Homo-oligomer: A and B are copies of this chain.
Amino acid sequence: MSRPVTLFTGQWADLPFEELAAKAGEWGFDGLELACWGDHFEVDRALAEPDYCDAKRALLERHGLQCWALGAHLVGQAVCDPIDARHEAILPPDVWGDGDPGGVRRRAAERMQDTARAAARFGVTQVNGFTGSGIWAQLYSFPPNDFAQIERGYEEFAEQWSPIVDVFDAEGVRFGLEVHPTEIAYDFVTTRATLDAIGRRAGFGINLDPSHFAPQFLDPAAFALEFADRIYHVHVKDSKRRLDGRRSILASHLNFGEEERGWDFVSPGHGDVDFEHFVRALNRIGYQGPLSIEWEDSGMDREYGAQDALAFVRRTDFAPSAVAFDAAMQR
């Protein structure tokens, strides 16, 4: 109804950007949240080539699309993570370099700073992404965690990200962490700890994606209310539990889309997220930014799904009431 609906391009990076933009425009999206990988939004070229940003904008406008946010999940992940072979597959070669963990993390941090600069040049004030986490792997306390080490994990996050957020502040851009397993914050408790660690500074907020809440049995509407002043961007994505006593909520080391997983991502409206309650919470906190569909459902055709999701959001995103009803009744 009232908010723009965008498509996050991260899961479409196999398509040439222009082809994707043409589709999205035709389907009726209001804009794209550009992924900083593939040829969707190239940070290095945006900073190096004077007309890169204008050309990108022009292409978007040809298809009736706007852009309110960038997605820099992959590089951000490497800032705090212990680096292993899996990171090579998601990082640009020049960030990966020789793969030495310290160097990878440092270069990733620098690339995040550049991303803020490129966003500003492109005229976008919101960059979403991941932070990585030095403590995620200690998810289950066995061998028994040294909980002082957990505390130290939050501190290291703050040390690594504060200089990045300094650049974001300087550029007038805000970062939105997608609260998500494998990140420094993945639920209520860890989000509180994360925001506290970084001093609740305004440059570091949240990209709220409810699909990561359902498999944890968390209520994203309650999350929006608690962290109202840090909800900077919203993803529309869904997930579904399939717990029958034989499938584990921990997903059995199976890939997304495997039948025996205890949960999976599904197209918005086809899962466990209560989007109506979620929209009411967004109304209550006055969120006015885009609803950005991050589409991922291994059981549904992608192009059918993107359109199905857009229609779902259009009919679910209603505005709050502007009338006090008792007023009408009292005469």
Do B143 and A254 touch (CB < 8 A)?
Answer: no
Do A302 and B284 touch (CB < 8 A)?
Answer: no
Do A253 and B181 touch (CB < 8 A)?
Answer: no
CA distance A149 to B118 in the complex (A): 36
Do B283 and A142 touch (CB < 8 A)?
Answer: no
**CB-contact partner of A143 in B38, B89, B298, under 8 A:** B89
**CB-contact partner of A320 in B13, B38, B139, B300, under 8 A:** B300
CA distance A310 to B149 in the complex (A): 37
Q: Which of chain B's residues have a CB closer than 8 A to the CB of A169?
A: none
Do B187 and A252 touch (CB < 8 A)?
Answer: yes
A169 → chain B closest CB, angstroms: 28
Do A253 and B318 touch (CB < 8 A)?
Answer: no
A62 → chain B closest CB, angstroms: 23
Contact code string A78-98 (vs B, CB < 8 Å = 1, else 0): 000100011101100000000
Q: Does A249 contact B (CB under 8 A)?
A: yes
Nearest B residue to A86, CB-CB: B143
Q: Please tell me how many copies of the chain the complex holds.
A: 6
A7 → chain B closest CB, angstroms: 13
**CB-contact partner of A14 in B248, B262, B284, B323, under 8 A:** B323
The size class of the interface chain A forms with chain B is: 35 or more
Q: Does A27 contact B (CB under 8 A)?
A: no
Q: Which of chain B's residues have a CB closer than 8 A to the CB of A284?
A: 259, 299
A181 → chain B closest CB, angstroms: 5
CB-defined A-B contacts under 8 Å, sample of 5: A186-B250, A187-B248, A188-B260, A219-B246, A244-B245
Residues of chain A touching chain B, judged by Cβ–Cβ distance below 8 Å, are: 1, 10-14, 37-38, 74, 77, 81, 85-87, 89-90, 135, 137-147, 149-150, 180-182, 186-190, 215-219, 222, 225, 242-257, 259-260, 262, 270, 276-277, 280, 283-284, 296-302, 304-305, 308, 318-323, 325-331
For the complex of A and B, list the 8 residue pairs with the smallest distance between their C-beta atoms, beginning with the closest. Answer: A219-B245, A189-B252, A187-B248, A86-B143, A301-B319, A137-B137, A217-B243, A216-B248
